[in-house]
Structure 1
């Protein structure tokens, strides 16, 4: 209404019937979604390869963060509708949001403390603490503004601009998809860059810094449009009203469970003493749909693992597609790309074809199919994981040590290591890592190793497309090492370099004698996830054939399972999303009362949060292999799918408009009856001791709640 619209200035100018103010809102949403999805795309790899967490713990923290992002929208809606209004809520929480993104970028700057020789920060507690604070602020910010921005954009239109408002929402959701798609492509590229002041490693500060900058831009752009916005004053949150009505009904029912009050047809009818029948009828419709929401979190438990387990799975795969190289965290872009393809196909081809076949493909049946497709996606992921496991090296547990023996002498050696008998040619190594559970001592002509102080090279886990080299200098002089024009310092005689992490593909290694200024160029082609040791023998000479005398020992074979094998599982889960998520939102909208659609939207977001919590619970179950966990999730979703299909069979579709119209006609009469009840209550209350104990308890309860 006109009374609730506050303007600091007259209505902003319009272009082609659209308020200019919506330009600021659309740009704000694009930048915010770029910021959120860009940061989230590289998050699980940041946990694993910067903070050095294992896969399980990285997955746990990732899904805890996502759950918080979908819990906070409820609080954002309450704050906006009850106290601050949408504009102030967006501004204040965007400041919190931007601060969180900046803190995340700072937390990834590893040169602010001394790092060890592997480039790992010594003061890791500092980085973990900053990261957790940053993620908490981001969850509060992104969740808090989520229910406000779209609604604030809708407020900018007048009642006669329904067509323009509809077009705005289409543009608005296009900006969401554009921001998420571009950020998921760009931020992994930024992450893969090498940066640092003292040590070089993957550039997480840049991968987090660009989303932080975009969030600052989003805030500035939104504030710049302040004078043009129509700002609707807070009018109370309908979600709070619904919760109070439900709470009253439950309390009233249990308060009189032993009394002689007549039974009610529906448990919500116990709220009739305080709330009118129209509101109770609306709440009944909402509760009916919310009941169907109970099985839905299991779908999101699988769906959101695209950013955790599936991304970690991709780190052990080959991303070379020939004309382009795909990073593990970039595979997430397959989902939005397939959405753009599948949505029009489903709407214009599949659904009309099903209708022509006269099949009753109701919304709830579509959602059931969507759940089943998601379960099949995890079966596909399990099959891919089985193939990957066959190609992976066997890394030791925390109680086992591994060693590779390298002969740096210009003669053959025979060696024994525990029960292992080795024969090593000059400047070669044994083909496989040897595994030891206990240290052992050696005698003359025996190579020895202890678990606490290994004397030779051990295995090293890397994220594709990064690979690694280590250089052993057997030359009789100090050498300088440069890889891809990046200086890695000196290697003294009979010593080895630190691990050098480099990109997939051909790498140029420059070996230089600092005394004679002579150089040797060596080209090493590295596959995804591979690791090599380069041996510079004592017979090494700086001439045209110098590169041929360098021996390359394979520590870890390149990944052989191609990332393209993940496309079927992405296709299945995206198809499931289209028929589950899109249909679910449409179903909730069609079955919701006119003034309570936001309540069901809040309930829908809550199912996403609960789904991520389920991942934490199921993830706590220790399984020997990853593919078994995929099968477990698929089995759970199939079970939930069966339960949901049974629930759907008993659901009766309604027309909320007709029901509301019916109760609206009864509302004046209902109000008169409630006024009579209030008068009678007042009279009875004035007569001390004239009523029974149970009656007076009821009267006190009603009078205190009215």
Structure 2
């Protein structure tokens, strides 16, 4: 029994609610009423706020870099990384139901938070360990990462429904109603503060710090969130002496599930003998009428909010597809390099700006224009904005793909020639219909040649005062769906046409890790070393005219050294570029050949789609949660909280189906597909909303009336 109930039960001096018996006060007027007892502010909530800040920092910091870790460090493809990422997020939003049941029916909130947080911290430690190369082979790293992600998913999901409500338990209501409201404001501010700081800082730890012999430091990037999660447990335990703890009272989610299951079973058994107005009415032989009626309202709300699932499918891809999109863009912003995963910071920052902006300006203006006058209208506009954000993202993706190299497919082949002469070289082939002049110290690629063929190619020096009359003829073979590269090099008084062993699409395709790809070629004979020296140095072993193709850290300057001697000018490697360094015969200079255009679209072009998806989040997500709470009876609010988190989980399932089934191969078209899905679902939502019956809930949380239809 609460303290307020204790005061209500007291009947001191014959107090009868309105007056005091004058006979018991000797005819004197009653004394003035005592002011309500002023309860001290529960200092224990500061431990809960500190715990939440550290936990959110840990979660969002780890999640921000996760998809790039899967792709860059564990060598999963972009599609595989997307699938694993969304399986993890799905787990994070499915387990809150289990955490709520555990807290309400068994352990209580304090023990649930404590025990599950320990599992959570262990998961962070295991995930951080999986990124250390010395811990076993690649398979070991993958299994450690999987175990770590499962533990983190169960941990963050398990405590998600408990922490905020446990903080609320520290206040005595209604005496501390205002303090409770301020607590939730500070609580949610701590969530956003933790996410903003970690989304900005963790990618810097990943990309800008070198450790353990690697130019990227995933152990540190995962280790800092792990330390913060351990710290959150310590902070939470430190406040245990001052917490108000309530005993578990049972979980309404389980009651709804059991009531629904019983109604279905009874309907199947007795529907031929008796007909009921609603299928849930079959449960009235065991369950109270209030629970049945409240469950009906809950079911009606859930039908209305089914489109939320598709919204979350779009929203959650900020951490996967949108991050990979950013990985194919140029992050140089006035000299400051923005990491692709840092773009996820834009959403929480915009949320902090947009919430007061929408409430104070945008909603009142839209209401005056008769565009947005009800929560259901906000939801419609929010869903359409989400679809629009993917139209914008798809258009940007198409622009990015314009810079992609043309690679052969099917029976088509391509031929690339490298001219190591300081003279133009003319090449001819009657069978391939080639007649072209390759510029001095340069390269040229012939597209759309028939694959699976063997042809004669003749090369000759053109318009040059040196090497006059030098020619050469060779038989070249072209493979279907591949790129064949040949080197035009001097061989005495002849031109040697040598096949380079590095052939295929890798020579032109961009790095999936957004790094620069570099190889060395040399027209002369012999073997030697070429070192690209910078913050990190890479040594290429050159033999038989060429080296292997290496991926280099981008957005950095490098000196070119041959056998330890610096030659030529410094070079700058851009993200996504594919380069060939041609060492000249004298070995005192070189030419940098750009084979594939680097990422040329600036990362800031992603901001419009982030602005639109954040506006959609404000109008759709926040309004949806608020609307469902105002429309539901008090007894159903925790059920709605659980379902709201489950819709996010189901949204990730949609992404898994689309990504895993390869319905659409082109990434831009996949984004347009999601936009179309959202638009179609919102048309269905408009129909449901127009036929939705509003409910009116009294102060006790009971439904007192229903409006026939909303008409939006």
Q: TM-score range by the shorter chain?
A: 0.7 to 0.9
Shift of 1:166: 1.2
Q: Secondary structure at the match of 2:94?
A: helix
Q: Does 1:446 align with 2:493?
A: no
**Hey, what does 2:608 align to over in structure 1?**
568
**Hey, what does 1:166 align to over in structure 2?**
181
The normalised TM-score by structure 1 is 0.82
Aligned with 1:455 (options 472, 493, 501): 501
**Hey, what does 2:216 align to over in structure 1?**
202
Q: Secondary structure at the match of 1:491?
A: strand
Moved more, 47-56 or 532-541: 47-56
**Hey, what does 2:76 align to over in structure 1?**
53
Shift of 1:319: 2.2
Shift of 1:144: 0.9
Q: Note the alpha carbon deviations across 1:3-23, whole angstroms, 9 max, x for none.
A: 9xxxxxxxxxxx994323222
Matches for 1:209-608 after TM superposition, within 5 Å = 209-259=223-273, 261=274, 263-357=275-369, 361-395=373-407, 404-408=416-420, 419=432, 421=434, 423-424=437-438, 427-431=441-445, 437-438=451-452, 440=454, 445-446=473-474, 448=476, 455-456=501-502, 458-462=507-511, 466-472=515-521, 478-479=528-529, 481-489=531-539, 491-492=541-542, 496-511=546-561, 513-514=563-564, 518-520=565-567, 522-541=569-588, 549-608=589-648
Q: Equivalents in 2 of 1:408, 1:194: separation in Å? A: 38
Judged with a 3 Å threshold, the aligned counterparts in structure 2 of structure 1 residues 419 and 186 are, in CA distance, closer, same or farther, namely: farther
Q: Equivalents in 1 of 2:473, 2:222: separation in Å? A: 53
Task: Tell me how large the CA RMSD over aligned residues is.
Answer: 3.1
**Hey, what does 1:67 align to over in structure 2?**
90
Judged with a 3 Å threshold, the aligned counterparts in structure 2 of structure 1 residues 52 and 217 are, in CA distance, closer, same or farther, namely: same
Q: Equivalents in 1 of 2:690, 2:238: separation in Å? A: 52
- Contact conserved, 2:420 with 2:584, CA < 8 A, in 1? yes
Q: Does 1:650 align with 2:696?
A: no
Judged with a 3 Å threshold, the aligned counterparts in structure 2 of structure 1 residues 38 and 441 are, in CA distance, closer, same or farther, namely: farther
Q: Equivalents in 1 of 2:321, 2:255: separation in Å? A: 40
Q: Equivalents in 2 of 1:357, 1:637: separation in Å? A: 25
Q: Does 1:629 align with 2:670?
A: yes
Q: Note the alpha carbon deviations across 1:644-673, whole angstroms, 9 max, x for none.
A: 11111111221222786589xxxxxxxxxx
Q: Note the alpha carbon deviations across 1:448-491, whole angstroms, 9 max, x for none.
A: 46869961462353257632333346686744624214343463
**Hey, what does 1:682 align to over in structure 2?**
none
Q: Equivalents in 1 of 2:623, 2:359: separation in Å? A: 11
- Contact conserved, 1:375 with 1:634, CA < 8 A, in 2? yes
Shift of 1:592: 1.7
- Contact conserved, 1:107 with 1:131, CA < 8 A, in 2? yes
Moved more, 493-502 or 208-217: 493-502
Q: Secondary structure at the match of 2:444?
A: coil
Aligned with 1:611 (options 651, 656, 671): 651
Judged with a 3 Å threshold, the aligned counterparts in structure 2 of structure 1 residues 328 and 440 are, in CA distance, closer, same or farther, namely: farther
Shift of 1:404: 4.2
Moved more, 16-25 or 602-611: 16-25
Higher relative contact order, structure no. (Cα contacts within 8 Å, ≥ 6 residues apart): 1
Judged with a 3 Å threshold, the aligned counterparts in structure 2 of structure 1 residues 124 and 19 are, in CA distance, closer, same or farther, namely: same
Q: Secondary structure at the match of 1:552?
A: strand
The count of corresponding residues between Structure 1 and Structure 2 is 630
Judged with a 3 Å threshold, the aligned counterparts in structure 2 of structure 1 residues 481 and 660 are, in CA distance, closer, same or farther, namely: closer
Matches for 1:86-97 after TM superposition, within 5 Å = 86-97=109-120
Q: Equivalents in 2 of 1:441, 1:96: separation in Å? A: 65
Shift of 1:583: 0.5
Task: Name the structure where helix makes up a greater proportion of residues.
Answer: 1
The normalised TM-score by structure 2 is 0.81
Aligned with 2:132 (options 92, 99, 109): 109
Q: Secondary structure at the match of 1:567?
A: helix
Q: Secondary structure at the match of 2:442?
A: coil
- Contact conserved, 1:403 with 1:459, CA < 8 A, in 2? no
- Contact conserved, 1:249 with 1:268, CA < 8 A, in 2? yes
Q: Equivalents in 2 of 1:604, 1:243: separation in Å? A: 16
Q: Equivalents in 1 of 2:71, 2:305: separation in Å? A: 34
- Contact conserved, 1:327 with 1:464, CA < 8 A, in 2? no
Q: Secondary structure at the match of 1:445?
A: strand
Q: Which runs of 5+ in 2 are unaligned?
A: 4-37, 458-471, 483-498, 705-712
Q: Equivalents in 2 of 1:182, 1:399: separation in Å? A: 51
Judged with a 3 Å threshold, the aligned counterparts in structure 2 of structure 1 residues 67 and 519 are, in CA distance, closer, same or farther, namely: same
Shift of 1:499: 4.6
Moved more, 263-272 or 531-540: 263-272
Q: Which runs of 5+ in 1 are unaligned?
A: 4-14, 114-122, 542-548, 664-706
Judged with a 3 Å threshold, the aligned counterparts in structure 2 of structure 1 residues 519 and 634 are, in CA distance, closer, same or farther, namely: closer
Q: Note the alpha carbon deviations across 1:625-648, whole angstroms, 9 max, x for none.
A: 222222221111111101111111
Q: Does 1:179 align with 2:194?
A: yes
Q: Equivalents in 2 of 1:641, 1:361: separation in Å? A: 18
Shift of 1:40: 1.6
Judged with a 3 Å threshold, the aligned counterparts in structure 2 of structure 1 residues 157 and 396 are, in CA distance, closer, same or farther, namely: farther
Q: Equivalents in 2 of 1:290, 1:662: separation in Å? A: 17
**Hey, what does 2:100 align to over in structure 1?**
77
Q: Equivalents in 1 of 2:447, 2:68: separation in Å? A: 26
Q: Equivalents in 2 of 1:205, 1:313: separation in Å? A: 24
Moved more, 290-299 or 456-465: 456-465
Q: Note the alpha carbon deviations across 1:533-583, whole angstroms, 9 max, x for none.
A: 222222123xxxxxxx22101122122223232222222111111100110
Q: Secondary structure at the match of 2:581?
A: strand
Judged with a 3 Å threshold, the aligned counterparts in structure 2 of structure 1 residues 161 and 227 are, in CA distance, closer, same or farther, namely: same
Judged with a 3 Å threshold, the aligned counterparts in structure 2 of structure 1 residues 552 and 136 are, in CA distance, closer, same or farther, namely: same
Q: Secondary structure at the match of 2:75?
A: coil
- Contact conserved, 2:88 with 2:149, CA < 8 A, in 1? yes
- Contact conserved, 2:414 with 2:446, CA < 8 A, in 1? no
Q: Equivalents in 1 of 2:555, 2:347: separation in Å? A: 27
Q: Equivalents in 2 of 1:504, 1:590: separation in Å? A: 52
Q: Note the alpha carbon deviations across 1:23-71, whole angstroms, 9 max, x for none.
A: 2211221121112112222222222233333332222222222111111
Q: Does 1:188 align with 2:235?
A: no
Q: Secondary structure at the match of 2:60?
A: helix
Task: Name the structure where strand makes up a greater proportion of residues.
Answer: 2
**Hey, what does 1:33 align to over in structure 2?**
56
